[in-house]
Amino acid sequence: MERLQKVIAQAGVTSRRKAEKLIEEGQVKVNGQVIRELGTKVSPSDEIEVNGVPIDKEEPIYFLMYKPSGVISSVKDEKGRKVVTDYFPEVEQRIFPIGRLDYDTSGLLLLTNDGDFANILMHPKYNVDKRYIAKVKGIPSKLELRTLEKGIQLEDGKTAPAKAKLKSLDKKKQTAIIELIIHEGRNRQVRRMFEALGYPVQKLKREGYAFLDLHGLNPGESRTLTPHEIKQLRNLAVT
């Protein structure tokens, strides 16, 4: 048995909060009866209607994908470019990416059809660490890396404290590989942070998301999250 608002959210109708509003407004029927009680438990055999339309119940599903670069983090693209869900032709559920990686960024991306789960992880207050490996043009000094760590002024405000580590450098080519761990998720944040220091990013990969990594996966491959991993990620919201 699951709470009614959760089942509606999981069916992809709307967020759990909006589902609660619909229930309170009397827009939801279970087996033909209007239900206004939040938290009413329903079983898979119950027929649920929202605004007179039966919902499609979907099993929640969770994937960890190694997104290749040159792919859009979306479910469709107006220009017909490849999107991440193209890599899941056999999945019937309406999965979508949790957050996004730029078209030209590769790395770890989670996908699900569970809107509540996605909202938890994307909420800035839950501080999920994201670990990036950036190849930059030029070789930042220790002091400059400390500037990244303390926070750097971008056009949409100063960045939150981060961790930055020089992994290797190529003096001849004048490039460096830097690990940057941030928990914010602003648009093109890593690229803009390095840009602000004067070191344009040539290549960017997300190698870690919370406690997850890309171990065992090649670009374009994915795996389902284990029940334990799902629970651990949910727990991030309460710790």
Residue 105 binds ligand URA, judged by CB under 6 A:
yes
Task: Calculate the CA dihedral of residues 134, 117, 127, 154 and round it to 10 degrees.
Answer: 60
Q: What is the size of the binding site for ligand URA (CB under 6 A)?
A: 8
> Any idea which residue has 């994937």 for tokens?
63
- Report the candidate in 202, 137, 134, 198 with the shortest Cα–Cα distance to residue 162: 134
In the bound complex, what is the minimum distance in angstroms from residue 184's beta carbon to ligand URA? 9
Q: Which is nearer to ligand URA, 94 or 183 (CB)?
A: 183
Residue 102 binds ligand URA, judged by CB under 6 A:
yes
Residue 71 binds ligand URA, judged by CB under 6 A:
no
Q: Among residue numbers 186 through 215, which ones bind ligand URA (CB under 6 A)? A: 188-191, 204
Alpha carbon distances (Å) from 94 to 11, 13, 32, 186? 9, 11, 26, 25
- Give Dmax (Cα) for the chain: 73
Residue 137 binds ligand URA, judged by CB under 6 A:
no
The question of whether 114 is a catalytic residue gets the answer: no
Residue 19, token pair as written in the block: 């589902």
User: Rounded to a whole number, what is the distance in angstroms from the first to the last CA of the chain?
Assistant: 26
In the bound complex, what is the minimum distance in angstroms from residue 187's beta carbon to ligand URA? 8
Residue 119, token pair as written in the block: 């909202």
In the bound complex, what is the minimum distance in angstroms from residue 72's beta carbon to ligand URA? 11
25 three-class SS: coil
In the bound complex, what is the minimum distance in angstroms from residue 10's beta carbon to ligand URA? 27
Determine the interface stretch with ligand URA among 97-105, 118-126, 140-148, 156-164 (rule: CB under 6 A).
Answer: 97-105
Which of 56, 77, 86, 102 is the catalytic position? 102
Contact 63, 88 (CB under 8 A): yes
Residue 84 binds ligand URA, judged by CB under 6 A:
no
Residue 101 binds ligand URA, judged by CB under 6 A:
yes
Contact 46, 59 (CB under 8 A): no
- What residues act catalytically? 102
Residues that bind ligand URA (CB under 6 A): 101-102, 105, 188-191, 204
